[in-house]
Amino acid sequence: MNLSIRFALGLVICLAFAVPQALAQEGLRPVGTLTYTPEPAELQTGVIVLRPEDRMIRTMRIEVREGTADIRDVRLIYRDGQSERFRIRERLRAGAMTGIIRKQGRGPLREIEVSYIPQGKVTLVVRAETRPPEPPPPAPLEWAELGCKNVGFLADRDTVTVGSGELYRALRLRSTGFDIEMLDMVVRFANGQRDIYRINAIIRSGARTAPIDLRGERRRISTIEFTYRTQVLSTRKTRLCVDGLQFSRGDEDDDLEEE
């Protein structure tokens, strides 16, 4: 059988199968149509209320954990009601994150508000870096009166006995009545040691000296002896007092003086 005869025979066989199928399709007609048009996505705003332990975060990122979302902006709301807004304008797919958002204020945050356009179901996660809690403020200085002496106008020397067993780190002198020229001060400690402090300053009536730091910072004081001279010739006496700055009990773990 030559080639032309074979080709003609194959064509007849194909037409035998194709013609019935064509006739069957011509017998079907459309009886209805369904078209799905998705609604345009709308801008959504979600608010994340922070737990107390998370309110001191400094930097953060928004992660898309599921779906796709256009992140429009982020607003950080502080505890006092003030806020900061950051423009993002990023389209993110699942697993992607925004750039770093760094807050400018110093106070604690209360909420994080995220504005976004979701593309289907979306889950957003805020990932943040926290900082260690700030140390508590230092305790206020506690000055205690250690003793007073009534002094005259001539050069004189007096001693104040300190009965307290507290630790002190500084002293100051104050005058009520007349101006006093303070020459020097000898401090004896509970362990028997003593230090001499040259003052050479005039304490005005009603005023006090600057703090005089004790060598060793934390000492138990036994007596304070000072040499002075009043600036007014009078039979009346003025009052000279010594105050001590108590050692903060928050530092008791440090080594104390040897006694």
Residue 151 shares a structural domain with residue 69: no
The reported pLDDT for the residue numbered 153 is 61
Tell me if 256 is assigned to some domain. Answer: no
The reported pLDDT for the residue numbered 41 is 77
Residue 91 shares a structural domain with residue 168: no
- Name residue 193's amino acid: Q
Q: What is the pTM of this model?
A: 0.45
Tell me if 255 is assigned to some domain. Answer: no
Candidate ranges 19-33, 35-49, 196-210; pick with highest mean pLDDT? 196-210
Candidate ranges 53-67, 146-160, 206-220; pick with highest mean pLDDT? 53-67
* Span of 48-52, 129-133, 167-171, 184-188 with lowest mean pLDDT: 129-133
Confidence of residue 25 (pLDDT cuts 50, 70, 90): low
d(CA 102, CA 107): 13
Tell me if 204 is assigned to some domain. Answer: yes
Q: Quick one: tokens of 36?
A: 């799905």
Residue 169 shares a structural domain with residue 82: no
Residue 165 shares a structural domain with residue 229: yes
The per-residue pLDDT for range 102-122, each reduced to its tens digit, is: 988 888 999 999 999 998 888
- Name residue 122's amino acid: V
Q: Quick one: tokens of 176?
A: 């009520």
Listed residue (65, 157, 155) closest to 116, CA to CA: 65
Residue 182 shares a structural domain with residue 93: no
The reported pLDDT for the residue numbered 255 is 41
Mean pLDDT, the chain, rounded, equals: 79
CATH number at residue 214: 2.60.120.1090
Residue 59 shares a structural domain with residue 95: yes
Confidence of residue 134 (pLDDT cuts 50, 70, 90): low
Tell me if 157 is assigned to some domain. Answer: yes
Tell me if 138 is assigned to some domain. Answer: no
Tell me if 191 is assigned to some domain. Answer: yes
Tell me if 3 is assigned to some domain. Answer: no
d(CA 179, CA 52): 55
Residue 159 shares a structural domain with residue 243: yes
240 and 158 Cβ atoms separated by less than 8 Å: yes
* Span of 28-37, 172-181, 205-214 with lowest mean pLDDT: 28-37
The per-residue pLDDT for range 70-95, each reduced to its tens digit, is: 999 999 999 999 999 999 999 999 99
Residue 172 shares a structural domain with residue 82: no
Domain carrying residue 87? 44-129
The reported pLDDT for the residue numbered 252 is 45
Q: What are the backbone angles phi and psi of residue 11, rounded to the nearest 5°? A: -65, -40
* Neighbouring residues of 34: CB distance < 8 A, sequence distance ≥ 6: none
Residue 9, pLDDT > 90, answer no
The reported pLDDT for the residue numbered 257 is 44
The reported pLDDT for the residue numbered 98 is 92
Tell me if 64 is assigned to some domain. Answer: yes
Of the residues 129, 151, 176, the one at which a domain ends? 129
How many domains in the chain?
Answer: 2
CATH number at residue 114: 2.60.290
Residue 152 shares a structural domain with residue 89: no
Report H helices in the chain. Answer: 3-25
Residue 108 shares a structural domain with residue 166: no
d(CA 132, CA 140): 23
